[in-house]
Structures are given as structure tokens and as C-alpha cells.
Amino acid sequence: MALIEAQNLKKIYVNDEVQTPALQGVSFKIESGEFVAVMGPSGSGKSTLLHVLGFLDRHSGGEYRFDGKMIDDYSKEEIAHVRNKKMGFVFQSFNLLPRTTVFENVRLPLLYSDVPKSEWEERTKKAIESVGLAHRLNYESAQLSGGEKQRAAIARALVNDPQVIFADEPTGNLDSKSGQIVMNIIQKLFEEQGRTVILVTHETYTAEYAERVITMRDGKIESDKKVHSRHNASDHFKK
């Protein structure tokens, strides 16, 4: 059974009675443990697709199944639970609280989880260590470089041990060196931890980390190909 299954998925935005189609009948499956990059120019629908797949937005037509269950069959409470427990999100803008420490930022999702409070500190430190930020544990996020902020955001996405990581242009605000460090970490999540990774990007070098590339244009899938990743998680990142 596929972890994610989209069938003729559509999304139409309506503004002052003007309809703008963002997804126009998209169909595909993603198995558990896959690393998929979704590529395309600005306005191709790739971020809209990620938001629908990540329960951040509702589709307008077609069918979407997550973990074998139609999204329409999830209650609001179940959607919130799945988003918190089974999904981790990494965005281009980091979305960290500025005058809050790395530890507190990474711990945040646990406050809304069913994880016992006695486990919060250990889980948080483990997630921070996994992205090489143990030496920044008590730094406020405003004191971090862009690359360190994104690594903290990845740790926050990991703290609830999710099934799938959704990464929307995670290197978009970073220089090439910081971007490579971040992508090496994401690659490690896939290779060493078996996470499902769905990466939205317009950058070819970023997509080269994936094993499958879905290319979109004008809200439709232009191609869906298996590829050989040109990178390896054993290329360890530097602190």
C-alpha cells in the first residue's frame, strides 16, 4: 500500500469570482521510504501540491489518500494528529521563534503531542544532535546563521519521529555551502533513517539528491522519472 496516493487531484483558488487552477488533475503514488523531488518553475503548482499532501490545504477535486485513508474521511482532530505526529515540515523561511533558544524551538511540536513530558528533553536533544547543532543548544535562533536556522528547523521537524518529511525550497534562502550541508542532512534522513522525503525545489542541484523527480508545469505533471542520486549521505557535513 502506497503511503501517499493522489488520483486526478485538483486545486482551484477563487478570488473575487476569478478562478485560478493551481493543480489540474494530478495523479501519482509515493511509497514509504521514497525520496521524491518535485520540480518546476514558479507557478507550476509544486508548493500547492506539497500543501495539499501535507494537510495544510484542502484539494478542490479528485482523491487523496494518506496511509491508505481518504483525506475526506479524516476528522479535524485526526488531521491535526497526523500533521503533528506523522509529518514534519521544513520551509524556506525557517519559521523559527526569534527570541527563543534552539532547544525551545525544536521542543515546540512536543507540546502538542501525546509524547510523555518525561521524554521531551531527551527527544529534543537527540534531534538537535542529529543535525550537528548540539553546540548551539542554548543559542537564540536570532543568533544563528541561515544554514544553522534551517538545521534547527529540520531538527524541529524530526522531534516527533514523523513518517514523512515535507521540505519546501529548504535551500532557497541559503548560500551554496549552507545549502549543501542542509541537503546532506536531508539525504541522511532518507538513507540512514528510512524517512520518506518529499522535496519541492526549482534548483537542479537540490533535486539531484532525490531518487525520483516529478516535474510540474502549469499545474500538471510533465514527467515522473526514477533517477540515480548523485550524492551520498556519507559526505558528512561540517559544523
Q: What is the pLDDT of residues 33-60, one digit of tens each?
A: 999 999 999 899 999 999 999 999 999 9
pLDDT per residue of the chain (239 residues) written in tens, 0 to 9: 899 999 999 999 998 889 999 999 999 999 999 999 999 998 999 999 999 999 999 999 999 999 999 999 999 999 999 999 999 999 988 899 989 999 999 999 999 888 999 999 999 999 999 999 999 999 999 999 999 999 999 999 999 999 999 999 999 889 999 999 999 999 988 888 889 999 999 889 899 999 999 999 999 999 999 987 666 644 444 43
Widest pairwise Cα distance in the chain: 52
Buried b (16+ CB within 10 A) or exposed e, 186-217: bbbbbbeeebbbbbbbeeeebbbbbbbbbbbe
The Cα 10–Cα 123 span in angstroms is 38
Residues in the chain, overall count = 239
User: In the prediction, which pLDDT does 232 show?
Assistant: 60
User: In the prediction, which pLDDT does 230 show?
Assistant: 64
User: In the prediction, which pLDDT does 192 show?
Assistant: 83
User: In the prediction, which pLDDT does 17 show?
Assistant: 84
User: In the prediction, which pLDDT does 236 show?
Assistant: 40
How much of the chain is helix, strand and coil, in % rounded to 5? 35, 30, 35
Long-range contacts of 14-17 (CB under 8 A, 24+ apart): none
**Architecture of the structural domain at 33-44+83-238:** 3-Layer(aba) Sandwich (3.40)
User: In the prediction, which pLDDT does 137 show?
Assistant: 95
Separation in Å, CA 122 to CA 35, 105, 172, 232:
28, 14, 31, 28
- What are the structural domain ranges in the chain? 33-44+83-238
Q: Strand, helix or coil at 42?
A: coil
